[in-house]
Structure 1
Amino acid sequence: MDQAAFQVIVLGPTGGPKEDAVTGLLVRSTSTEWSKSSVVAVDAGTLLAGIIRTLSEHISIDNNGKAVVKDGPFVGMKLRHITAQANAAYIFREVIASVLITHPHLDHLSGLAINTPLVEASNGPKTVAALPSAISAMKNHMFNDVIWPNLSDEDGGAGLITYQRLVEGGNPRFGRGESRGYVRACDGLVTKCLSVSHGRCRQQFNAETGRHHRVGSSVFAADSVVMPARTLSLDHGDGSFYSPARSPHLGASVTASPAKDNNWAVVESSAFFIRDDVTGSEIIIFGDIEPDSVSLEPRNKRVWEIAGPKIAAGTLRAIFIECSYNDSVDDETLYGHLCPRHLIAELKVLATKVDEAQSPHTRGRSSKRKRKDSVPSHDQVSPRSVRPLAHLAKSNTMSSPRGAPANSSDANVGDSSDKIADGYTKNISEPGNIDVLPAAGSKSNNTDAAVSDSEQLPLAGFTVYIIHIKDTLTDGPHPSERILQELRQQSEEAKLGCKFFVPKQGEGIWI
């Protein structure tokens, strides 16, 4: 079993409406051992509060009066202080090297704004990296001395943060070989950012001015066929972003391509490829994203074209991607997000790119097996423990319910209460999950069957972590249960082979 290359700590796994759990992830290379500048944050809807909450659950005082973390996602970190709050401040100031922002919506940014005054001059400014459109929005609409003080080092600000404007698709001046285009994210990790679409709005980013302007305003050339703004989507008259295909007439469905409506511009979001320097392994973390099938500017296919060969080579280990709603939501009310039917459609494109990246001999064998009627059961051994395909032999994803490695002393890993059969333990990394994992050192009797049955599946052994689920705050099952059910059922019908998991807040995932 390969050693984990990444640890991802989920500070905020949801898309709201609760403000204490919105999107925020920490990522580090396992080779860095919690050293200074060894962690990168991806989005910061929840940041410092999530660190404090997670530390509070796992911190204790030893016989010498020192604070220690014996389990949980921060296990192994040498704490500088006694309380969770003081140690969280240390992590924010010194351990987190930079913050990657996928897009500037508040559920991905608010924690950063509130937390930034904690930065100390002795540590230098905190790097905030994003595409130019996101930097523009933060600079002009948040850190602008109106919504929030200008804490940046631009335009006479306080200098607590410094903007890093990323080159879309990667900067070819940096890196060599497979790392070409990647820039430093933190010690041990490099990143490359690709643009994706998150719906539409009437604010367009102008690269020359570095600002956003309303589409149809005097900044842009008038279009004789553009209708007055008051006649557009009267049920959505505030100019906010909206994803689905709507006509200019009272929100009715359209049959023509939505891209022809020049009154709308794309809301730009991002997909971050994050690469481990030591192993060359990668993960992708998506911001909010809509399906190509309803987008003004379909951009997802380009991400899949890059990701497919990496999966085939065994270097791309997992993706973190949103699935905000279940399939009861129609396209007209997706608002720039995914639901299971659209995520599966996107993963089908990815699966095609994996097939294309394999050798002709392998593709031919796979095509023959795809004609079989049998579909592997969901009860087969979890892909976190078995990598049945040759092109995934190098890849391994491990997750514990509290973020500890498989050989950790965490009471929730390998505890007798979780054992359900000789040599097996329950995987309880998300609500309702009852996948079976081989215990350390054990051998599965189903391995041979998994190899023979699942070779036909292009994404066999590949793990998809679902984030940004929007909580309904109602009685009854959590929305993740239905979303997972729909994803797993449709994935099985599509013969993809990937596995889906919904991480909990405060969970550490080893990949």
Structure 2
Amino acid sequence: MRHSAVAALACAAPLSADAASRAFDVVPLGVEGGVVEGSTSAWFIARRGQEQGLACDAGTLVPGIRAAIAKGGFPTGTRPSDVLHRRIGAYLITHPHLDHVAGLVMVSPDDSPKPIFALPDVNAALAADYFNWSAWPNMGDRGRPPLLGRYHYQDLTPGAPPVPVEQSGLTVTAFPLSHSGALSTAFLIRAGEEALLCMGDTGPDAVEHSARLTSLWQAVAPLVRAGHLRAIIIETSYPDPRKDAELFGHLTPSWLKRELARLGDLVGEPAKMAGLPVVIGHIKPSVDGGPQNVEAIKRQLSEGDGPPVRYIIAEQGRSLAF
């Protein structure tokens, strides 16, 4: 079943729900999908009211933190070092592509010790390809010695029971995604019964010849049905039209709607999808700096049929609460 497309579509702004009902604070530190540096994928996520949280991906750190402080995403008087050293207590890395890890690598000599949660193959790539004394000093606790041990690699088993992220009040479960032949990850982050889904790069199942999105939707559909999935953070890299052969493991508005419709079919109750926040990131910017892709994707999401979700175009540094 398909329904009128979008209940609302807006650029990132604090949601109007009563503050007491919110479960998560989210600060987009980086919202773009490569091409230029300074705002590539990274999200600060914390349990509502908790100072320490985690970063889901780390393509941009210090520039994104500075942008968030300037826009009120963190409390007045917060210094970038406060966020980096104390508020970000762990990293969740979806996949080792440069636009998702560059900030982590660059800041590592000045970072505080913390764990990196990822699927085993992702952590193995970080140790082999970045923290290897060739691309960068080995700031981890695996790989080529000497091991500086700034970061502790913590491997996650796909679909396993939630793993606590110490001092954050959050837990995390990892689900694999397909990204043009590469392994990516969706992280289901929980605060008690409430959940938020932070997804790395992914192509649609039909193009990727995969069932990984199907498996993910099956896992989260009961949370949507119960009203416990507070938001989905997901990429939409390119506007339509774009050839399937040139998606390179990404989504467009039409493919995003089709995938969310499949989730809605599994939920089985259209009203449960109504107003579900779907936060859009990883939009590929124009080299010339124009807003064409953002405006096109925003318009295309608002047009036509699709699940009655609430699309939100994320803005670097502009905080959200769910």
2:118 to 119, 130, 141: 130
CA distance in 1, matches of 2:28, 2:101: 15
1:483 match: secondary structure = helix
Match of 2:30 in 1: 12
Show the 5 A alignment for 1:199-214. Answer: 199-200=180-181
Match of 1:42 in 2: 56
1:165 corresponds to 2:155: yes
Mapped contact 1:151–1:160 kept (Cα < 8 A): yes
Q: What RMSD, in angstroms, separates the aligned Cα atoms of the two structures?
A: 1.7
Match of 1:192 in 2: 173
Q: Deviations over 1:258-308 (max 9, x none)?
A: xxxxxxxxx10000101113xx21110100000000114321001111111
CA distance in 1, matches of 2:220, 2:262: 11
Show the 5 A alignment for 1:109-508. Answer: 109-120=101-112, 125-154=113-142, 155-170=145-160, 181-186=161-166, 187-200=168-181, 267-277=182-192, 280-355=193-268, 457=271, 459-474=273-288, 477-490=291-304, 493-494=305-306, 496-508=307-319
Match of 1:98 in 2: 90
CA distance in 2, matches of 1:117, 1:477: 35
CA distance in 2, matches of 1:53, 1:344: 30
CA distance in 1, matches of 2:289, 2:64: 25
Contiguous gaps of at least 5 residues in structure 2: 1-17
TM-score (norm 2): 0.89
2:21 match: secondary structure = coil
Mapped contact 1:31–1:188 kept (Cα < 8 A): no
Mapped contact 2:237–2:251 kept (Cα < 8 A): yes
TM-score (norm 1): 0.57
Match of 1:73 in 2: 73
Q: Deviations over 1:82-113 (max 9, x none)?
A: xxxxx212321222110000000000001000
> Which runs of 4 or more aligned residues in structure 1 lie more than 6 Å from their structure 2 counterparts after TM superposition?
none
Higher strand share: 2
Q: Which has the higher contact order (CA 8 A, sep 6+)?
A: 2
Mapped contact 2:218–2:263 kept (Cα < 8 A): yes
Contiguous gaps of at least 5 residues in structure 1: 59-71, 80-86, 171-180, 201-266, 359-455
CA distance in 1, matches of 2:291, 2:137: 41
* Bigger radius of gyration among the two: 1
Mapped contact 1:152–1:163 kept (Cα < 8 A): yes
CA distance in 2, matches of 1:53, 1:339: 27
In the alignment, residue 64 of structure 2 is paired with which amino acid?
G
Post-superposition offset of 1:465: 0.7
Post-superposition offset of 1:458: 5.1
CA distance in 2, matches of 1:150, 1:271: 26
CA distance in 2, matches of 1:27, 1:105: 21
CA 476–134 in structure 1, closer or farther in 2 if over 3 Å, else same: closer
In the alignment, residue 197 of structure 1 is paired with which amino acid?
S
Mapped contact 2:123–2:155 kept (Cα < 8 A): yes
2:303 match: secondary structure = helix
Match of 2:9 in 1: none
CA distance in 2, matches of 1:476, 1:21: 15
CA distance in 1, matches of 2:258, 2:318: 28
In the alignment, residue 74 of structure 1 is paired with which amino acid?
F
